[in-house]
Structure 1
Amino acid sequence: MLTFYYAPGTCALASHLALEYAGAPYEAVRLDFRNQQQRSPEYLRVNPKGRVPALVTDRGAISENVAILQYVAQSFPAANLAPLDDPFLLAKVNEFNSYLASTVHVNHAHKGRGYRWVDAEDTAAIEAMKKKVPQTMAESFTLIEEKMLQGPWVLGERFSTADLYLFTIAGWLEGDGVDVQRFPKVAEHMARLAAAPQVQKVVAAQKA
């Protein structure tokens, strides 16, 4: 049995969805960020970074969506969550997921976690980062819309973990001051996934 740690509204949704799509045996453990549960000694023993997601396996814990998504895809190959038979396409999945993790997520984080880059007392810098978020998120999604989302899925006709990650990050656009309807392919992709029973199950569980 796998143990999966998450917090609602975070990027951990991507890995949570992957576990559900894979049909993996797992227990989902919600962390209360408001009460700093991610900084508790118990959780820091699982993930010293104090962040989500984290997945505990029989060989130890794994953190970071990119790593967890590939682990799930490789551990449950029958679910076809990654093109494991094609080195090039598998690299393209990791390329896309890495872009979401290293660039798009960082753009989003400047809205609420500017203190990671400057001192919290530097309010002018904090506000400047917040102000920039709609622009940088829109620029990233313009690239995704025009160059990276092949349609109907990220890889074209082949569904993968990249679609679950894109659905997760795209769900932040409205809160970041960006109208998703500016990106018709992304909006259609979101709507299609939102209607999937696996997505509805996980989203409902995270809201409960």
Structure 2
Amino acid sequence: MMRLYYAPRTISIAVAIALEEAGLSYEPVLVDFQSGEQKKPEYLALNPKGRVPTLETDAGALLTETGALLDYVAALAPGANLVPADPERAAQMRSVIHFLAATMHVNHAHMRRGDRWATQQSSFDDMAAKVPETMTDCARYFTSDCLEGDYVLGDRFSIADPHAYMLCSWLERDNVSLDDFPEIKAYLARMAARPSIQAVTAKGML
């Protein structure tokens, strides 16, 4: 059985949601960020980046990076139709995933992970102060250019949605009012009602 190394409410949960959507069995393995488990030799032997997610496959391979794992899950379960067959639609879907990973997630990290880019508290404070603005810009772009309807691809659920769900669920933590983005508020409620998200919630992962 596959093992998914995760931390609660982090982007790693997007992979758990995709696994549930695909109907694939996996063992969730908690990585305790509070105790710094992600920086200890035992976990670094699995993922030298010291981050989650890490997916250990049935064959014993160790895979990392959310976007790559979402694609892997979709490839394991083609019957779940988590990636469009049409190359143009698939590229549009992946463009959203790349935006989420390269822009929105990085903007979010400036609130509490400033030590990745700077060393002085004044720099951390400046970065954190900018986050509500940059995340509001991301929410605006997601609403206008990524969310085509009920889901990222309109009426079709895809692997972009678990990724988008997790990042959008952090907006209020970044001092972005969802009252200003009713489409995102409705999207989060719609996603939360899906059995996959209810399943990971029941497992204590969210």
TM-score, L = length of structure 2: 0.96
- DSSP 3-state at the match of 2:42: helix
**What's 1:114 paired with?**
114
List aligned pairs for 1:51-130, cutoff 5 A. 51-57=51-57, 58=59, 60-83=61-84, 85-119=85-119, 122-130=120-128
Task: Tell me: higher relative CO, structure 1 or 2? Use CA pairs within 8 A at least 6 residues apart.
Answer: 2
One-letter code of the match for 2:54? A
Post-superposition CA distance 1:38-75 (Å, at most 9, x none) = 11222111111110001011151110110000000111
One-letter code of the match for 1:25? S
- Structure 2 regions of 5+ residues with no counterpart? none
Post-superposition CA distance 1:118-149 (Å, at most 9, x none) = 01xx1111100000000000001101111211
**What's 1:198 paired with?**
196
- DSSP 3-state at the match of 1:46: coil
**What's 2:26 paired with?**
26
List aligned pairs for 1:3-42, cutoff 5 A. 3-42=3-42
For residues 131 and 203 of structure 1, the distance between their equivalents in structure 2, rounded to whole angstroms, comes to 31
**What's 1:135 paired with?**
133
TM-score, L = length of structure 1: 0.95
For residues 94 and 48 of structure 2, the distance between their equivalents in structure 1, rounded to whole angstroms, comes to 24
Aligned pair in 2 of structure 1 residues 207, 23: CA closer, same or farther (>3 Å)? closer
List aligned pairs for 1:177-188, cutoff 5 A. 177-188=175-186
- 2:7–2:205 CA contact under 8 A, matched in 1: no
Q: Percent identity?
A: 43
- Count of residue correspondences: 205
One-letter code of the match for 1:117? W
Stretch moving more, 36-45 or 22-31: 36-45
- Structure 1 regions of 5+ residues with no counterpart? none
Post-superposition CA distance 1:64-118 (Å, at most 9, x none) = 11000000011111111111x2111111121111111110000000000001100
One-letter code of the match for 1:160? S
Q: CA deviation at 1:181?
A: 2.4
Root mean square deviation, CA, Å: 1.2
Aligned pair in 2 of structure 1 residues 176, 52: CA closer, same or farther (>3 Å)? same
- DSSP 3-state at the match of 1:150: coil
